Chains A and B, each alone.
Chain A
Amino acid sequence: MLYVLRRVLAAVFVMWAAFTVTFIILYLVPGDPALLIVGGDGGVQATPEELAAVRAEYGFDQPVIVQYFQALGGVLTGNLGMSYQMRQPVTELIGAQFGSTFALAMFALVVAVVAGLVIGGAAVYTKSRILSQLLDSLPPIGASLPTFWVGLVLMQVFCFQLGWFPSAGDRGFDSLVLPGITMAIPGAASIAQVFAKSLRASSRDDYVTVATAKGASRMRVFIGHAARNALLPTITVAGMIVAGLFAYSAITESIFSRAGLGMALDNAVQAKDIPMVSGIVLVIAAVFVVTNLIVDLVYPIIDPRLRRPGASKAVRLQRGLVEA
């Protein structure tokens, strides 16, 4: 129980740190936010009175520390402020975009995990040296392909030539497939690499020899012993991938003209819409923190060695997050 409490506290701390760092960076960005709000079009010259009114309305005339605590208080009560650009609450704007990105990221995660496990597993299981080398060479290729290029190629082949999937939009499952695969490739590559590496290590473990000496078949030893242990480090990698899927969704969303957090972040940065940027960054940080929390909590369920008091350090050792 202490373990759970500590992990939750650590998660809260990371959220606070993410918020604070974002606040500081955006505060230091040059430019007067009041000017941005008033002169949205750029052409109109705002009067000093108008600027002063805006400053008072948004609290820019307050000392920075007051602004910080007001913003922090807002976050704690679920109020992320007003978008300069849209003149709507950031919470509402993000809420409208989140679902689309969430669906895309989850689909991409499933694709990445399945493809990663199959490729990594097959590379180790096959007795053919050539096939094994071929499968081993896929992850480095996948990791080095630029996402935008993959997206464009997939679109060219499957939309324009074969016509199987729509090239744009965010309605229905069909529209998820191509952007989902595009986003999944780097993740699948990391999972395949880590899984294959752990499998090769666990295949040399003594318990694998013992299982073989029992008379178990190769498949049974592979799935029941080697793969089961090799999954542990793979889960850590899968957890890290999730946050990346949200953070880098902008590229894929813009190629496939999907609404979503990535596109919204892109727009907000272009328009210097500070509350919107900080809101989205905060949401992505939250996704990162929550997935890591889930991985931390799931780990002891999968690895019984960690179900004991004082296992927190052991979990993080196992996950390779800290050095021994």
Chain B
Amino acid sequence: MSGTDPQPLLAVDDLKVSYGSRSHRTPALHGVSFSMVPGEKISIVGESGSGKSTTAHALIGLLPAGGRIDSGAVSFAGRDLTRLGDRALRAVRGAEIGLIPQDPMTSLNPVRRIGKQVEEALAVHGRAGRGVERRVLEGLRDAGLPDPERVAAQFPHELSGGMRQRVLIAIALACSPRLVIADEPTSALDVTVQRQILDHIDRVTAAEGTSMLLITHDLGVAGDRTDRIIVMNEGEIVEDGPADSVLGSPADAYTKRLLAAAPSLSSRVLYSGQTVATAETAAAGPLVSVRALRKEFHTAAGSHLAVDDVSFDIAAGETLAIVGESGSGKSTTARLLLQLEKADAGSVTLDGAELTGLSAARIRPHRLAMQMVYQSPYASLSPRFSVGDIISEPLRIHRIASAAERRRIAASLLDQVALPGSVLDRSPAELSGGQRQRVAIARALAPQPKLIVCDEAVSALDVSVQAQVLELLAEIQRERGVAYLFISHDLAVVRQIAHRVVVMRRGRVVEQGDTEATFAHPVDEYTRQLLDAIPGRQPVST
């Protein structure tokens, strides 16, 4: 550790933070201490609830409503920020410590022009005198926006997520702060954009000698971008050391678990080498066959070809992944397959039966065979249903089994997804994110489907929970021979779970094949870019 330096830039000493109302407070940080020297780059890594974001926000007095620093000190360049008055703290924010926020889509004021929002960062520190417009344009250009004059006159909704994050970087760096706090700056962005943005932050901070505190859930990002990693768990620092040693030979048990759970291009493959029904399928043909699907969306703004000539097969008991970035058409393809959306052209067959062109009533019986698990386990379970009702709803809709029988089925499904039978009568609100996703999987299994479509089904989960859910999916497949269509943007996850992969870009399939072979020897240039952009690509010894 670098605590021996005579003059640390930032020294956090026994910081304790709690949330809640006056009478009932829940501690979030139990005494966090670390320090950093000028020019140092540190990552704070942890899962949700670890306190990493709370730490970042507490440093600059930006805790959300209900949050309070109970004790401890944050000395920055010799001053204790926790004891500064409002005015003095304002002089530090922006001018000496810049913040790059998490979600570029919501972090810019939607009704004000970009130029004005960058200018404000200068204006509040009295730097909006003559030449301010020139400085705003320079800032935007330095942030990697090629046409700053145009961007300055635009509104946030006219820019892509990556461009908005560049604007936010320009805002954070406008006053040349000595420290930049980057709070998950790229977790809302596609991998290729993520890489560009992180490269860019690296460049500008290196040029100015700016220190950086990077908050991230992604060990790969932490290892790639910073020299030192602090691992947090449940409001405490469990490990703090040079990136190489934390990732290479972790001392703490939690860090070890986190590393083991994080999917990377070298982690263990979960699917079974042989698909369960290989022998039968060879004779019977594929379970699902998608041919030349096409879908165009028409809006007043023009038409947009979302899915263009997409064809693939899914064998029984097999996992096929569709990977691609936002706007690639992967989710639309899944919706077309499930007949939730009508294709303009092409065909979808399930077990040899043609689904396209069927009336809603005639599709209904086929729906039992195709179930879905959604991305957000918070939005996809009705809060007014009990867990038992949620799981047995598909059976109820299709009038399968008696009420008592359905309850028994729900209980056995809970057992299959490794949840205790006691949750049957509970509300989903009482469950954690990972438990909810298990309930969603149990619901999908209820009608004994042949295909389950998982649309980013593990993307919203913390890595350790994600690893467990992936294991569960693989195990269910081994036991029941169900096929998965696994929609994901995360190539490392796909590599673990999918037998075969389809890479989509702008509505078209650019490459498809065996997952291992495709990832080892990508043929298409775009597939190669996607693989290169994965953080932690140079595998740290495992």
- B107's nearest neighbour on chain A, judged by CB, is A206
User: Does B69 interact with chain A (Cβ within 8 Å)?
Assistant: no
Is there an interface contact between A207 and B93, defined as CB atoms closer than 8 Å? Answer: no
User: Does A29 interact with chain B (Cβ within 8 Å)?
Assistant: no
Is there an interface contact between B93 and A215, defined as CB atoms closer than 8 Å? Answer: yes
Pick the residue among B91, B111, B171, B174 that contacts A229 (CB under 8 A).
B111
Q: How far is the CB of B159 from chain A (nearest CB, A)?
A: 12
- Measured between beta carbons, the chain A residues less than 8 angstroms from B301 are 308-310
Is there an interface contact between B92 and A210, defined as CB atoms closer than 8 Å? Answer: no
Is there an interface contact between B171 and A212, defined as CB atoms closer than 8 Å? Answer: no
User: Does B28 interact with chain A (Cβ within 8 Å)?
Assistant: no
Give Cα distance in the complex from A210 to B103, angstroms. Answer: 11
**Interface locus among B94-102, B269-277, B325-333, B348-356:** B94-102
- Measured between beta carbons, the chain A residues less than 8 angstroms from B93 are 212-215
Is there an interface contact between A217 and B90, defined as CB atoms closer than 8 Å? Answer: yes
Q: How far is the CB of A59 from chain B (nearest CB, A)?
A: 45
User: Does A61 interact with chain B (Cβ within 8 Å)?
Assistant: no
Is there an interface contact between B99 and A213, defined as CB atoms closer than 8 Å? Answer: yes
Q: How far is the CB of A172 from chain B (nearest CB, A)?
A: 40
- Measured between beta carbons, the chain B residues less than 8 angstroms from A303 are 110-111
Q: Given A213-B99, A217-B90, check contact A206 B106 (CB 8 Å).
A: yes
- Measured between beta carbons, the chain A residues less than 8 angstroms from B86 are 218
Contact flags B156-192 to A (C-beta < 8 A → 1, else 0): 0100000000001001101000000000000000000
Is there an interface contact between A215 and B90, defined as CB atoms closer than 8 Å? Answer: yes
User: Does A211 interact with chain B (Cβ within 8 Å)?
Assistant: yes
Is there an interface contact between A228 and B112, defined as CB atoms closer than 8 Å? Answer: yes
Q: How far is the CB of B521 from chain A (nearest CB, A)?
A: 42
Give Cα distance in the complex from A232 to B110, angstroms. Answer: 12
Is there an interface contact between A209 and B101, defined as CB atoms closer than 8 Å? Answer: yes
- Measured between beta carbons, the chain B residues less than 8 angstroms from A312 are 300
- Measured between beta carbons, the chain A residues less than 8 angstroms from B94 are 213-216
Interface residues of chain A: helix, strand, loop or mixed (majority): helix
Number of interchain pairs (Cβ within 8 Å): 93
Q: How far is the CB of A203 from chain B (nearest CB, A)?
A: 9
- Measured between beta carbons, the chain A residues less than 8 angstroms from B64 are 204
- Measured between beta carbons, the chain A residues less than 8 angstroms from B413 are none
Q: Given A206-B107, A305-B155, check contact A2 B92 (CB 8 Å).
A: no
User: Does B7 interact with chain A (Cβ within 8 Å)?
Assistant: no
Is there an interface contact between B124 and A207, defined as CB atoms closer than 8 Å? Answer: no
Give Cα distance in the complex from A232 to B86, angstroms. Answer: 30
Pick the residue among B102, B110, B124, B302 that contacts A214 (CB under 8 A).
B124
Give Cα distance in the complex from A303 to B157, angstroms. Answer: 11
- A232's nearest neighbour on chain B, judged by CB, is B111
User: Does A302 interact with chain B (Cβ within 8 Å)?
Assistant: yes
User: Does B109 interact with chain A (Cβ within 8 Å)?
Assistant: yes
User: Does A304 interact with chain B (Cβ within 8 Å)?
Assistant: yes
- B97's nearest neighbour on chain A, judged by CB, is A213
User: Does B121 interact with chain A (Cβ within 8 Å)?
Assistant: yes
Is there an interface contact between A225 and B109, defined as CB atoms closer than 8 Å? Answer: yes
Contact flags B107-134 to A (C-beta < 8 A → 1, else 0): 1111110000000110011000000000
Is there an interface contact between B124 and A228, defined as CB atoms closer than 8 Å? Answer: no
User: Does A174 interact with chain B (Cβ within 8 Å)?
Assistant: no
- Measured between beta carbons, the chain B residues less than 8 angstroms from A211 are 109, 120
User: Does B418 interact with chain A (Cβ within 8 Å)?
Assistant: no
Is there an interface contact between A215 and B106, defined as CB atoms closer than 8 Å? Answer: no
Is there an interface contact between B300 and A310, defined as CB atoms closer than 8 Å? Answer: yes
- A217's nearest neighbour on chain B, judged by CB, is B90
User: Does A224 interact with chain B (Cβ within 8 Å)?
Assistant: yes
Is there an interface contact between A217 and B112, defined as CB atoms closer than 8 Å? Answer: no
- Measured between beta carbons, the chain A residues less than 8 angstroms from B90 are 215-217
User: Does B137 interact with chain A (Cβ within 8 Å)?
Assistant: no
Is there an interface contact between B155 and A207, defined as CB atoms closer than 8 Å? Answer: no
- Measured between beta carbons, the chain A residues less than 8 angstroms from B98 are 213
Q: Given A309-B300, A310-B299, check contact A304 B111 (CB 8 Å).
A: yes
Is there an interface contact between B95 and A215, defined as CB atoms closer than 8 Å? Answer: yes
Is there an interface contact between A205 and B106, defined as CB atoms closer than 8 Å? Answer: yes
Pick the residue among B103, B124, B168 that contacts A215 (CB under 8 A).
B124
- A226's nearest neighbour on chain B, judged by CB, is B109
- Measured between beta carbons, the chain A residues less than 8 angstroms from B206 are none
Q: Given A204-B65, A303-B111, A310-B301, check contact A214 B157 (CB 8 Å).
A: no
- B172's nearest neighbour on chain A, judged by CB, is A213
- Measured between beta carbons, the chain B residues less than 8 angstroms from A215 are 90-95, 121, 124-125
Pick the residue among A206, A210, A217, A218 that contacts B171 (CB under 8 A).
A210
Query: Can you list 5 residue pairs at the A/B interface with Cβ under 8 Å?
Result: A209-B99, A209-B107, A210-B108, A216-B94, A305-B155
User: Besides A213-B99, A309-B301, 6 other CB < 8 A contacts?
Assistant: A210-B108, A212-B62, A215-B124, A218-B86, A224-B112, A232-B111
- Interface residues of chain B, those whose CB is within 8 Å of chain A, are 60, 62, 64-65, 86, 90-95, 98-99, 101-103, 106-112, 120-121, 124-125, 155, 157, 168, 171-172, 174, 299-302
The 3 A-B pairs of least Cβ separation, nearest first, read A310-B300, A215-B94, A213-B99
